[in-house]
Structure 1
């Protein structure tokens, strides 16, 4: 099957689902390291879906020009080169974190009497839109601010290595994550062939039969383009989530298992590194988390508008006082 797909599309990796009724997902990805924007940097990004029983290509999905990958690039790097575009995105996120923290400090009630009107809406005797706008900014902003902080902090975790180091030190006492044990395939006269990938897939299914899927690189290279010394396999524990990941490594000539590092054996910093994306999107907490994250995101979108109206109202009020 690998050969048949590879003849038409030079594949990078394949994701194999454990469910028997799902198609294999082959990734065809090429990147231009010298480019400065998303459309030039991502030369090719296609997914090829293949029937695992017949080898028939079921469909081809061009992710490069699809709406959601483009929106993700806007969110991640403003459509700039990912390696440095994420820093441009990170700066306003840091400012947003400062605004959230100072906003919570300003919100904090000075006494018990003031506390009553800070947690819920009470508009029975409120007639002006200014007061309602203030409450919308104040009350909704308070509830959304904690989730927004979580979104923002997990966001800059991707952008700035220093943030990762702070997390690593806090969670595991070391600035760096444990280095992956270098497992090299022993010298062998055997030439690598597709049967090696079959053996790799079979052993992975046996070891992690209850997992969701696993990914195998097929081009012999890692994300940085360096030649792999073995066949690393990433096993995803749950569909749609990345938090639970198990790592395997196989001899690239014989298919023999060289390393089995289950999620349970990772230290706290490593587990968090895997979970950060899920926490950022809310998927770590299931469908309820994603809904809550979405609502919090909508509220955060409204805060600049309601905040500006509060500021504008105070500015006009000061102008009237000066005139009188």
Structure 2
């Protein structure tokens, strides 16, 4: 029995050391990452409210009107909102009452910070029946995009800034695990105290702070681990590979559709090729939310696709349910359909990673969980520091 106790205390001793050292080392980055994560959770809800007057174009009598061809609309957008760069892609909604969204996006791979790396990022809402540009949003300087890039790379170059964020998150994962080890009570009496707040009017602030750190930390730990690991998915390829291998049942090769390519000559491409592709997508997935079409221009980051793949988003609030369709970009011929239901579990988990990370996988309920857990994660380094500082102050007095 004494040997068992010794081993347990040894394990807890080093858990406490790691928990403290890592907490002091990455406390500030974890607070920043957590707060920006909480702020980003309700991005769609806020934007849907503030942009509601342009999300729908309000064109009268659309039943008797025709949609302007996608390529013609692109030319009108470029003329109405001229930039030094070509338009990148367009989001086409299946609901004809909604506006099309055209995007300017240029990425400079040689820059060292977000503001230089993202050369331009603008969203243009367009009435597809009249061609009227309803509004232009500069997403590069938009609140939520700045928040997102602080969260993702601390506004550093994405290629290596993600590691500046990823390393503290790795240490935070260890802190969460060691925190649960330290929280784990030795007996039933200890369990009662650690599962709930038992504050009285005489409870001191130090005790309240200790309980906030321990009890909130325990209850949020499983969700915090999920959000942390799904965040590391974007930082380290090994995490992506592990997610796919584990959930696909041991498959190590991700499905590759790059061999399905355009074979028709460029002369077959017309102003109506993209519309032909759009109409086929609408027939295949009439109940989908929207799909995205690349406009086929060259871009600063050597934007080259092995094939012309259309991304179909099935749900308004989530990206995890998505299908991919490959077309001949010159003739508009349908070459391949990779339906959401045909994906293995590994592919579905990879697709769902973003939605799990931001809490949108089950819409509002999981968003609320993500928001609250992010705030708790932001509080843990602060309450933890106060516990350490209080003990240190007491030791110095003694």
> Which bracket does the TM-score occupy, shorter chain normalised?
over 0.9
1:2 aligns with 2:74: yes
What's 1:277 paired with? Answer: 354
1:184 aligns with 2:256: no
Deviations 1:278-322 (A, max 9, x none): 0001111210111111111111111112112222232344345xx
Paired with 2:305 and 2:139, the residues of 1 have a C-alpha distance of 26
What's 1:228 paired with? Answer: 305
Paired with 2:75 and 2:191, the residues of 1 have a C-alpha distance of 68
Higher relative contact order (CA 8 A, sep 6+): 2
Deviations 1:137-167 (A, max 9, x none): 1111111111111111000111001111222
> What is the aligned counterpart of 2:128 among 23, 44, 52?
52
Q: Which runs of 4+ in 1 moved over 4 A?
A: 220-224
CA contact (8 A) 1:221 1:228 kept: no
Q: Which moved more, 1:227-236 or 1:270-279?
A: 227-236
> What is the aligned counterpart of 2:92 among 7, 16, 23?
16
Q: Which sections of structure 2, spanning at least 5 residues, go unmatched? A: 1-72
Q: Which moved more, 1:78-87 or 1:180-189?
A: 180-189
> What is the DSSP-based 3-state SS (H/G/I as helix, E as strand, rest coil) of the residue aligned with 1:118?
helix
Q: Which moved more, 1:184-193 or 1:243-252?
A: 184-193
Paired with 1:229 and 1:296, the residues of 2 have a C-alpha distance of 40
Paired with 1:244 and 1:223, the residues of 2 have a C-alpha distance of 30
Compared with structure 1, are the counterparts of its residues 226 and 193 closer, same or farther at alpha carbon in structure 2 (3 Å cutoff)? Answer: same
1:230 Cα shift?
A: 4.1
CA contact (8 A) 1:2 1:194 kept: no
What's 2:150 paired with? Answer: 74
Compared with structure 1, are the counterparts of its residues 220 and 262 closer, same or farther at alpha carbon in structure 2 (3 Å cutoff)? Answer: farther
What's 1:150 paired with? Answer: 226
User: Pairwise mapping of residues 105-120 of structure 1 onto structure 2 (< 5 A)?
Assistant: 105-120=181-196
> What is the aligned counterpart of 2:285 among 197, 208, 231?
208
Q: Which sections of structure 1, spanning at least 5 residues, go unmatched? A: none
1:28 Cα shift?
A: 0.8
CA contact (8 A) 1:220 1:227 kept: no
What's 1:38 paired with? Answer: 114
What's 2:238 paired with? Answer: 162
Paired with 1:212 and 1:303, the residues of 2 have a C-alpha distance of 39
CA contact (8 A) 1:191 1:253 kept: yes
Paired with 1:229 and 1:314, the residues of 2 have a C-alpha distance of 60
CA contact (8 A) 2:317 2:363 kept: no
1:214 Cα shift?
A: 0.3
What's 1:123 paired with? Answer: 199
1:126 Cα shift?
A: 4.4
> What is the DSSP-based 3-state SS (H/G/I as helix, E as strand, rest coil) of the residue aligned with 1:5?
helix
1:189 Cα shift?
A: 6.6
1:27 aligns with 2:103: yes
What's 2:395 paired with? Answer: 318
CA contact (8 A) 1:220 1:231 kept: no
User: Pairwise mapping of residues 259-270 of structure 1 onto structure 2 (< 5 A)?
Assistant: 259-270=336-347
> What is the aligned counterpart of 2:270 among 193, 214, 226?
193
Deviations 1:176-205 (A, max 9, x none): 422225212223373312201011111101
Paired with 2:276 and 2:332, the residues of 1 have a C-alpha distance of 6
RMSD: 1.9
Compared with structure 1, are the counterparts of its residues 34 and 219 closer, same or farther at alpha carbon in structure 2 (3 Å cutoff)? Answer: same
> What is the DSSP-based 3-state SS (H/G/I as helix, E as strand, rest coil) of the residue aligned with 1:280?
helix
1:248 aligns with 2:325: yes
CA contact (8 A) 2:106 2:299 kept: no
What's 1:300 paired with? Answer: 377
What's 2:208 paired with? Answer: 132
> What is the DSSP-based 3-state SS (H/G/I as helix, E as strand, rest coil) of the residue aligned with 1:225?
coil
Paired with 1:254 and 1:316, the residues of 2 have a C-alpha distance of 74
CA contact (8 A) 2:87 2:297 kept: no
